[in-house]
Structure 1
Amino acid sequence: MRFDQFDLQLFAHKKGVGSSRNGRDSESKRLGVKRGDGQHVTAGNIIIRQRGTKINPGWNVGRGKDDTLFALTDGYVKFEAKGKHKKQVSVYAEMA
């Protein structure tokens, strides 16, 4: 008898598993802009949580070890262009 004469059916090697093996996901990191342009901030307020320096620190803004940008003084947030392709955020005492 030849192999192609058999009525051969192939099935899955593992059965479909239920939801008990699913449902894993990482906890959200809550990244993003926390204080908008023109908003008042006090020293120490977080302005942006980010991964990498997508936005650079400007005047009166510090950068944490995880690239978080925070206000060094009280004032108002101002987002600015830094060159042709970069952005920076500064804190000014008076609205410009």
Structure 2
Amino acid sequence: GTSHHPGENVGMGKDHTLFALIDGEVVFRKRRNNRSFVSVMPLVEEAEA
């Protein structure tokens, strides 16, 4: 199997390559059964005041 599984905004190729579907920050999380998931969170742009 694969050591990291696709999470939010992440796709997986035929060769188990993980790729981002959007620009953002990469986040690694452990979930049930101790599986590691990789997600990409959108960047939050700060409003100029």
Normalized per residue, the structure richer in strand is: 2
RMSD: 1.4
Deviation at 1:85, TM superposition (A): 1.6
TM-score (norm 2): 0.79
Percent sequence identity is: 50
Q: Could you tell me whether the CA contact under 8 Å between 2:23 and 2:43 is conserved in 1?
A: no
Alpha-carbon distance in 2 for matches of 1:75, 1:85? 25
Which structure is richer in relative contact order (CA contacts within 8 A, separation 6 or more)? Answer: 2
Match for residue 81 of structure 1? 30
Q: Could you give the per-residue CA deviations for residues 27-57 of structure 1, whole angstroms, max 9, x where no partner exists? A: xxxxxxxxxxxxxxxxxxxxxxxxx321100
Question: Which TM-score applies when normalising by structure 1?
Answer: 0.42
Unaligned 5+ segments in structure 1 are 1-51
Which runs of structure 1 show a deviation greater than 2 angstroms over 4 or more consecutive aligned residues? none
